[in-house]
Amino acid sequence: MSGELDCLFTPHRVAVVGAGTKPTNLGHMVVRNLLNGNFDGVVYPINPKHESIGGVPAFPSVRETPETPDLAILCVPAVGVLDVVKQCAEAGVKGIICMAAGFREVGPEGRAMEDHVVDICHKAGMRLLGPNCLGLQVPERRLNATFAGHMPKPGNIALVSQSGALTAAVIEWALGKGIGFSKLVTLGNAADVELAATLDYLVDDKDTHAAVVYAESISDAQAFTAAARRFTAKKPLVIYKAGRFAASAKAAVSHTGAMAGADEVYNAAFERVGATRVLRISDLYHTIELLAADRTAHQPTLAVVTNAGGPGVMSVDALSERGGRLAEISPSTLDALNEVLPTAWSHANPIDVLGDAPAKRYQAAIKAAVSEDDADGILVILTPQAMTDILGSADAVIAAAQTTDKPVLAVWMGGGAENDKAIAKLASAGIPTFDFPENAVDAFVNTTQSQSYTDRAAAPAAVADDFAPDRERAAALIAGVPDSGLLPETESKELFDAYGIPVALPRLATSADQAAKLADEMGYPVVAKIASPDITHKTDVGGVVVGPKNADEVRAAFEQIVANAKKAKPEAHIEGVVIEQMVGAGNAELILGSTRDPSFGQTIMVAAGGTSAEILKDSALQLAPVDAGLARTMVESLRIWPLIKGYRGAEGADVDALVKVITRFSTLVADHPEITETEMNPLTVSPSGAIALDARAVIDRDALANPPAKYSHLGILPE
């Protein structure tokens, strides 16, 4: 499957369609870039009016080249693309890069044209990159198939970007920093080749050890989550998603809908697939810098070697902020450090080698620090002081880094020619360098995060535990939804009940004995209420008894209520008495709900309930479905988790029961694509279990009429 994109990444013969003679012509630039890159394949400029382009023999069309091109780079304007694509299909071209803008992004006409182009490609078995893109670069193959003039050196990182402008900026920056890339791909409109297909290609690409993604949107969520999970199982994946605050609030009928912002869904999706999300573009650059060093750390534990206290504290602050920690210095490492450092050293991590540290002292301290088992990485900080050997200390880092496989990060603070020289030296030895301690820590935590997320990336099976939902009853309840699409409270509760979720379901008793039997089943205390279509204000007629504690009391309540009602309203039709479980406040009132995200499909949210739910926004969100492990993680991540667990000596709630409710709820949501939104509010948790006291569900009646494919409403496919 991954071989499918070889036509794009490893072409031998490349046609450049629309290459003109002017140096400012787009196609001309692409030809020039291919030649300047020293591409070792064949370049065919395509131009019906000229014999050559920049001295290179040109051909009138892709059908008239000496050999069939593997790849055609289309540098013609949008209006001419369709014809050329048809010619490519006829000629047997395998891959197309289309640079022109003017397609889907400009409106319906452009979209139709794009769809037409994709259709031809699919039928001809051609793969298409773009349109509206900068192209791609494969430095190792000296293939610069872009209109960007420069190309970084070969390296181990793949950049996949939806922005050509950002890619151009990264290229220039990487050149200055000496950072190499395995592939640089700009997806543009991603009409055919999108992020998922690219990741699937890169996961098997031996030159690629990590991928860095600049995304503006994710189109096919299932394809993305599947590909990303395959990728992160083998290699780190770091994603910058633009537009965090741009998403406007959605109209929604439930708390869940109002609380689940689009950006939280991206967080959930990226974490779920084991990708690290970075929130600032600078953080992406810093992370690239560290990934380029190609050394792996699994835990965010750092040993810091510094010649000044202040910058050491900065790194500690940043580590704490980002959830990393300082490595603990073992007695043997302490001994080793004592041997090589003056007595006034800090005797702790950060390892302060003091302001007068010569290069040798740095080297000895770093060597001791790398051998500390608890440290997964080493950060070396230098500030220029009176005695500081700026260059020699850089050599010391390089020498010490050769004694370990752990990542070694360098922060040479200050500036000036000597510092620049030291940084260049470090960089050319493959030591990542950063301007400030915080940047180094960010990069370090980012790369370890991708590892730790991977552990929980396993997709849950669709059915959560060995329970047998009453699917027929559920389907019938859903099918019976009124035209409004809003399932009434009782039917919503019945729906949850069909999936084995405890609900406070009022049940009708037509005799005192039946009332006692129902109450026995529910558990005491209960509430008994008159059931009559003719009686609205039940308490006014003495039609409610609160709190019967045993079967006898229930029987007595039944008789009493019926007698009261008959006396007060002799003409009323009496159906019987409704029995309902009384549920106390428990440890906490939660909200458990599901809502549909336009990109990532059904999501499941657990939140703190009560009046303050919307205000405090104490919630956890995951893509559906979730398994028991994820459900537990969600509950434990709530700020009110201590209340659930049992706060200050209070008995803890039955968390297993709560987890079971969540996974069963997840199964319900996964089974029924017609459900657009559901909510239990409150879901009360106590030592004796979890029970939903109120329920609602919104049904998509169109989906009911035209059932969508199984699981098509999920952003992550169950196994």
Nearest CB to its own copies, comparing residues 282 and 510:
282
Q: Which of 321, 465, 636, 651 binds its own copies (CB under 8 A)?
A: 321
Distance CA 518, CA 207 (A): 67
Kindly write out the interface string for residues 362-401 of this chain, putting x where it contacts its own copies by CB under 8 A and - elsewhere: ---------------------xxxxx--------------
- Decide: is 328 part of the binding site for its own copies (CB under 8 A): no
Q: Give min distance, CB of 355 to its own copies, in A.
A: 6
- Any contact of residue 243 with its own copies (CB under 8 A)? yes
Question: Are 503 and 678 a contacting pair, CB within 8 Å?
Answer: no
Q: What is the 3-state secondary structure (H, E, C) of 316-335?
A: HHHHHHCCCEECCCCHHHHH
Confirm if 262 and 225 have CB atoms less than 8 A apart.
no
Contacting residue, 27, 155, 324, 437, with its own copies by CB under 8 A = 437
The neighbour count for residue 685, using CB atoms within 10 Å, is: 25
465 binds its own copies (CB under 8 A): no
* CB 55 to its own copies: min, Å: 21
**Which residue in 59, 70, 62, 53 sits closest to 11, CA to CA?**
70
Site stretch for its own copies (CB under 8 A), options 71-79, 117-125, 306-314, 493-501? 306-314
Question: CB-wise, 179 or 364, nearer to its own copies?
Answer: 179
Binding characters for its own copies, 548-587, by CB under 8 A (x = yes): ----------------------------------------
Using rule CB under 8 A, residue 475 touches its own copies: no
Q: What is the DSSP string of 546-580?
A: E---SHHHHHHHHHHHHHHHHHH-TTS---EEEEE
Considering only residues 255 to 284 of the shown chain, the ones binding its own copies according to CB under 8 A are 279-282
Binding to its own copies (CB under 8 A) within 78-97 occurs at none
Of positions 199, 314, 341, 626, contacts its own copies by CB under 8 A: 314
Residue written as tokens 């047997």?
92
| Of residues 112 and 279, the one with the C-beta less far from its own copies | 279
Position 249 contacts its own copies (CB under 8 A):
no
Asked if residue 311 binds its own copies (CB under 8 A), the reply is: yes
Considering the complex, state which of residue 305 and residue 668 has its C-beta at the smaller distance from its own copies: 305
Q: Which residue, among 56, 53, 120, 59, has the nearest Cα to 90 in the 3D structure?
A: 120
Question: Binding residue for its own copies (CB under 8 A) from 400, 640, 698, 699?
Answer: 640
Under rule CB under 8 A, residue 136 binds its own copies: no
- Residue 538 binding its own copies, by CB under 8 A: no
Q: Which is nearer to its own copies, 134 or 695 (CB)?
A: 134
3-state SS track over 499-525: CCCCECCCEEECCHHHHHHHHHHHCCC
Residue number, 626 or 640, with CB nearest to its own copies? 640
316 near its own copies, judged by CB under 8 A: yes
Could you say whether residue 542 binds its own copies (CB under 8 A)?
Answer: no
Beta strand ranges found along 7-153 (DSSP E): 13-17, 42-46, 52-53, 56-57, 71-74, 95-98, 127-129, 135-138, 143-146
Question: In angstroms, what is the minimal distance from the CB of 43 to its own copies?
Answer: 19
Which of 618, 654, 674, 677 binds its own copies (CB under 8 A)? It is 618
| Residue 308 lies near its own copies (rule: CB under 8 A) | yes
For every residue of 616-678, DSSP letters joined together read H--EEEEESP--HHHHHHHHHHSTTHHHHH-STTPPPP-HHHHHHHHHHHHHHHHH-TTEEEE
Please give the DSSP secondary-structure letter assigned to residue 284.
Answer: H
Tokens found for residue 195: 């992020």
Q: Which of 173, 392, 568, 575 binds its own copies (CB under 8 A)?
A: 173
Return the closest-CA partner of residue 53 out of 108, 14, 96, 103. 14
Distance CA 124, CA 300 (A): 49
CA triple 133-232-191, angle to 5 deg: 25
CA-nearest of 662, 232, 634, 610 to 447 is 232
Give the footprint of its own copies on residues 141-160 (CB under 8 A). 147-148, 150
- Residues in 597-616 at the binding interface with its own copies, rule: CB under 8 A: 611-612, 615-616
Cα torsion at 121, 122, 125, 129 (round to 10°)?
50
Least separation in angstroms between residue 134's CB and its own copies is: 9
Q: Is 418 exposed, middle or buried (0-12, 13-18, 19+ CB in 10 A)?
A: middle
Separation between Cα atoms, residue 701 and residue 166, nearest integer Å: 43
Shortest Cβ 175–its own copies spacing (Å): 6
Candidates 57-65, 431-439, 471-479, 530-538: pick the segment binding its own copies (CB under 8 A): 431-439
